[in-house]
Amino acid sequence: MKERPILFSGAMVRAILDGRKTQTRRIVKLQPELRDGDDCVVQYGGRSLSGPRDYLIGEILPRFGCPYGQPGDRLWVRETWAQPAALDPGPTVYLADYPACVPAGFENIPPAKAITWKSSIHMPRALCRLMLEITGVRVERLNDCSEADAVAEGLHILPASGRYVVNPGEQYFGAADHDPRVVYADLWDRINGAGAWEANPWVWVVEFRRVQCVS
């Protein structure tokens, strides 16, 4: 079993904490090259392989080329964090669910805007609170994401209307839809830039479950 770090935004950390997010999609760095017929070219480990598309993309890339690991490996989540001096003796707190994450017994809790937050990229492994075990890895085109998979990316469902949103309250700004794929496409464009969903790249689909984090 191997451990690797992975970055998540505050909204996605909250989704993991709530148990709503069990998948993540990340762009394949070297995109498979489709040729005429069933032929395809993929690259991994500095090597270029050509052959049947279903075999290379469906078998070779997921088994040997995934930079996030294989089923059974673990991902430790890097997120925005701080150790505010106002909270003596200075526990680690996390922006995604601050101040709910402050341990019991602390007083004079400062507002979030008064804290100097540290970037997720600088979080050391020892301060990680979320550990994910990979349960599945595959490669697919982004637009092949199903409705169920879009929901598993961490969306909220609004009980009153049955529509989906990324964050509660966004329905008041026109960012809700009965089709979760529409909402996830909007989220993808927010993260990767306008037109990123329409570009329809090949992506890693990493499925996971939350497990106990041991320092």
> Tens digit of pLDDT for each residue in 169-190?
999 998 999 999 999 999 999 9
Q: Which of 171, 190, 195, 141 is nearest to 12 (CA)?
A: 190
Q: What is the tens place of the pLDDT at every residue in 11-20?
A: 999 999 999 9
Among 23-32, 90-99, 127-136, 137-146, name the one with the lowest average pLDDT. 90-99
pLDDT in tens, 113-172: 999 999 999 999 999 999 999 999 999 999 999 999 999 999 999 999 999 999 999 999
Sign of CA dihedral 29, 35, 40, 42: negative
Provide the pLDDT for residue 163.
97
pTM of the model: 0.93
The pair phi, psi for residue 16, each rounded to 5°, is -65, -45
Q: Yes or no: say if 154 and 183 are a contact pair by the CB < 8 Å rule.
A: no
Pairing of strands 3-7, 74-78: parallel
Class of domain 6-29+67-77+130-210: mainly beta
As given in the structure block, the two tokens for residue 61 are 């890339």
- The pLDDT of residue 46 is 86
Q: Say which amino acid occupies 39.
A: D
7 pLDDT above the threshold of 70 = yes
State the average pLDDT over residues 35-64: 91
Find the distance separating the first CA and the last CA of the chain, reported in whole Å: 16
Indicate the average pLDDT of the chain. 94
Q: Where are the domains of the chain?
A: 6-29+67-77+130-210, 78-124
Task: Judge whether residue 44 has pLDDT over 70.
Answer: yes
Q: What are the contacts of 30-37 at 24+ separation with CB within 8 A?
A: 31/201, 31/202, 32/56, 32/57, 32/61, 32/139, 32/202
Residue 6 structure tokens = 């992975």
> Which pLDDT score, from 0 to 100, does residue 89 have?
65
Flag whether pLDDT at 215 surpasses 90. Answer: no
Q: What's 42's DSSP letter?
A: E
**Number of Cα atoms under 13 Å in the Cβ half of residue 126:** 2
Within the chain, where are the H helices?
10-18, 53-55, 147-152, 180-192, 196-199
Instruction: Please check the confidence at residue 28 and state whether its pLDDT lies above 90.
Output: yes
